[in-house]
Amino acid sequence: MSKTFKTFLKHTAKDYHNQSVNPPIVRASTIIFKSMEDIRRTQNKGKKDPTGGHFDYGRQGTSTTHILQKILTKLEESYYVFVTPTGFGAVFLAIFSVVRPGDEILVADPVYSPTRLLTQDYLKEFNIKTIFYNPHDLKTLSNNITKKTKLIFVENPGSNSFEFQDLGKILSIAKKKRIFTAIDNTWATPYFFKPIKLGFDMSIVSATKYYSGHSDVMGGSLAVNKKVFDKVRKAERITGLRLGPDDAYLITRGLRTLDVRLDRHQENAKKIAGFLSKYKNIKLLYPYKKDSFNFRMWKKYYSGASGLMGLKIKCKSIKSIRKFVNSLNLFGYGYSWGGFESLALHQEFREMGKRKFMNLAKDEHFVRLHIGLEDPKDLIDDLRKSLKHIK
């Protein structure tokens, strides 16, 4: 019987041996074999079928991590998915798998600020040059391609500023010049957009966010096509960047309800966006206004939107922003997002990594909201009361 992905998520990874609807957590450093021949047989199987989950040492994973990888490979519709201890580990793995000293890389200007620091500063120490391109002016991408360009690194939408890019155009530029492509797809997850299907070589998701969904685990995933599989596998083995089985179990558990949660995050976020769009001093950074380029690009490539949005607020002083966020009761104040609970965070322009193509006026401030799974009426009441402080 063919099943939709939603049904697959509920019925996968059962453990018939132990009569449990959930898989066991297999923790292992040593994996024991019956004999010298047995270990060789497993190693030979691993050489013939490197995606098949044949382990001879715990650093390569156990059946618990393999189950998660199989679910994610199906969700991504990719060749394979590597799992890493954090989302940022997956960013690092993607870049270091294909980039070497002397290369150049092109990176979207509004990337997650640690990704900016990694590419702009750390890669420089390895003689790798980073050029940032304007997400809404792809001439700044194509005009900066040289013979040394090895990778285009996209994050969509832009971190905190939520620009949506013309991903198809970026891919056709990259393909013509035989440049590798990677995208950070944490905002949408492959539930709403499948980058490998569109043509990206690598796709990153911080599993810390919607995959786990309960704000209690860190993890990352890197989906790949066949072209880059060997390169990433080699880098993964060398760096030892692999998720542990306990975290893999929690992420697998979170995935069971990914569809239900993301549909509800989307529904709630749309209601909040409708409410916020009535405020003249707030520019909503979310695919909501039908006449914008961002909306068109979102509609072209995505089947839905998650619960993370930005507010660009015009007000006289930072004091108003402070009063606004401090008086919220249902929105916790803190980093990360993708959990069941709503969160707010003021974003200093400084924290956004000194972007090249974005300037904020003195009276403009960014606040990021993660819309959780609470009753949206309560969230709206909380926002209405607290927004009175914006002067």
Ligand X SMILES: Cc1ncc(COP(=O)(O)O)c(C=O)c1O
Q: Which residue, 55 or 82, has its beta carbon nearer to ligand X? A: 82
Nearest approach, Cβ of residue 84 and ligand X (Å): 9
What's the DSSP call for residue 337? -
Q: Which residue, 91 or 228, has its beta carbon nearer to ligand X? A: 91
Q: Which residue, 75 or 222, has its beta carbon nearer to ligand X? A: 222
Nearest approach, Cβ of residue 218 and ligand X (Å): 5
DSSP for 94-132, written as a single string: HHHHH--TT-EEEEETT--HHHHHIIIIIGGGGT-EEEE
> Using CA atoms, how far apart are residues 150 and 137, in angstroms rounded to an integer?
20
Q: Which residue, 87 or 372, has its beta carbon nearer to ligand X? A: 87
Nearest approach, Cβ of residue 301 and ligand X (Å): 17
DSSP for 120-175, written as a single string: IIIGGGGT-EEEEEBTTBTHHHHTT--TTEEEEEEESSPTTT-----HHHHHHHHH
Q: Which residue, 149 or 159, has its beta carbon nearer to ligand X? A: 159
Nearest approach, Cβ of residue 94 and ligand X (Å): 11
Taking the CA atoms of the chain, what radius of gyration do you get in angstroms?
Answer: 22
**List of residues 6+ apart from 156 with CB closer than 8 A:** 108, 164, 165, 167, 183, 184, 185, 187, 188
Q: Is 295 exposed, middle or buried (0-12, 13-18, 19+ CB in 10 A)?
A: middle
Nearest approach, Cβ of residue 158 and ligand X (Å): 10
Phi, psi of 151 (to 5 degrees): -145, 140
Task: Tell me which residues touch ligand X (CB under 6 A).
Answer: 86-88, 91, 112, 159, 184, 186, 206, 208, 218, 220, 336
**List of residues 6+ apart from 36 with CB closer than 8 A:** none
Nearest approach, Cβ of residue 167 and ligand X (Å): 16
Q: Which residue, 205 or 383, has its beta carbon nearer to ligand X? A: 205
Q: Which residue, 87 or 287, has its beta carbon nearer to ligand X? A: 87
Q: Which residue, 158 or 245, has its beta carbon nearer to ligand X? A: 158
Nearest approach, Cβ of residue 336 and ligand X (Å): 6
Look-up of token digits 């810390």: 208
Instruction: Outline where DSSP puts E strands in the chain.
Output: 80-84, 104-108, 129-133, 149-155, 180-184, 202-206, 220-224, 282-285, 308-314, 332-333, 343-347, 364-370
Look-up of token digits 């905002």: 187
| Length of the chain measured in residues | 391
Nearest approach, Cβ of residue 219 and ligand X (Å): 7
Nearest approach, Cβ of residue 343 and ligand X (Å): 11
Q: What is the number of the residue whose Cβ is closest to ligand X? A: 87
Q: Which residue, 163 or 382, has its beta carbon nearer to ligand X? A: 163
